[in-house]
């Protein structure tokens, strides 16, 4: 009888050991009591990574396709381009006018484009088109402003003064670098005494308090070019504003 009980005890001990080992392999991982939560958290992290991987390439494509805010002036023989010259892209097309020797691009705000000390690119539209040189000129005038208005203007009787035409530097085959306003001012005469007298009369007669300051009024470029059968020049005048 004792032997029978001992045999039965041995069987129970072996069965308990087997169940314990099975639980070790199929139970909850060590240090965690919520296996389902861990699986959900891992899936969420994966989704975030996938979302991030989609955002960056899309942003790069958008930036690459976005207009680079260039000023582009098109003629039949060439385009005059100021990369990143304005807050918004600006294109003016004169390619249908064969006799466009001089154009005025009016009402440019000074803080949007001044075309001083910046790159200028010439894009040829004809195989035999060649640039001989590019010259730059600026003018200065007195700009008036009423207190609180934010706008500026010039008046009759105050005459602008112009610099000489000065050649700008060519830095690559089709790339040039324009002069600064200060470099051009060296060849400008002083604003006349008559202009200052007219300015003072305008200020004294104004109902709203008014002041005035010297600012560049025009920034001009002369493109002197040639082809195999003709020569010519094209003048582009940027008429500048100041203020809001």
pLDDT digits (tens, 9 = 90+) for 137-183: 999 999 999 987 778 899 999 999 999 999 999 999 999 999 999 99
Give the pLDDT mean for 179-195.
95
Q: Where are the domains of the chain?
A: 2-25+35-65, 71-241
The token duo for 201 is: 């009369």
21/45: higher pLDDT: 21
Give the pLDDT mean for 70-95.
90
Residue 226 CA: distances (Å) to CA of 68, 110, 153, 166, 176: 29, 32, 38, 19, 17
pLDDT score recorded for residue 58: 36
Beta bridge partners of 96: none
Residue pair 86/67 in contact (Cβ under 8 Å)? The answer is no
77 vs 128: CA distance, rounded Å: 10
The token duo for 60 is: 């790069």
Give the pLDDT mean for 22-51.
42
Please tell me whether residue 36 adopts helix, strand or coil conformation.
Answer: helix
pLDDT score recorded for residue 188: 95
Q: How many CB atoms are closer than 10 A to CB 198?
A: 17
Chain centre distance of CA 21: 69
Chain centre distance of CA 233: 29
Q: Which pTM value belongs to this model?
A: 0.70
pLDDT at 36 over 50: no
Chain centre distance of CA 213: 28
pLDDT at 23 over 90: no
Residue 69 banded pLDDT, cuts 50, 70, 90: confident
Residue 89 banded pLDDT, cuts 50, 70, 90: confident
- Helices then strands (H, E): number in the chain? 4, 12
């Amino acid at each position: 009888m004792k032997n029978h009980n001992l045999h039965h005890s041995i069987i129970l001990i072996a069965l308990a050991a087997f169940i314990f080992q099975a639980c070790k392999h199929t139970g909850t991982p060590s240090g965690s009591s919520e296996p389902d939560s861990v699986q959900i958290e891992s899936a969420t992290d994966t989704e975030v990574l996938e979302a991030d991987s989609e955002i960056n390439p899309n942003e790069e494509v958008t930036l690459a396709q976005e207009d680079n805010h260039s000023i582009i002036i098109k003629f039949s023989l060439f385009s005059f381009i100021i990369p990143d010259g304005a807050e918004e892209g600006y294109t003016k097309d004169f390619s249908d006018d064969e006799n466009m020797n001089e154009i005025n691009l009016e009402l440019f705000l000074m803080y949007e484009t001044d075309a001083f000390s910046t790159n200028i690119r010439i894009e040829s539209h004809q195989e035999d088109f060649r640039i001989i040189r590019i010259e730059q000129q600026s003018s200065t005038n007195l700009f008036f402003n009423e207190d609180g208005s934010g706008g500026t203007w010039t008046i009759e009787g105050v005459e602008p003064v112009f610099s000489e035409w000065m050649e700008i530097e060519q830095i690559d085959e089709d790339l040039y670098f324009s002069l600064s306003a200060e470099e051009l001012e060296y060849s400008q005469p002083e604003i006349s005494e008559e202009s200052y007298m007219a300015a003072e009369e305008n200020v004294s007669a104004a109902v709203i308090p008014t002041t005035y300051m010297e600012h560049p009024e025009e920034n001009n470029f002369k493109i002197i070019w040639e082809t195999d059968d003709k020569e010519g020049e094209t003048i582009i005048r940027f008429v500048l504003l100041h203020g809001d």
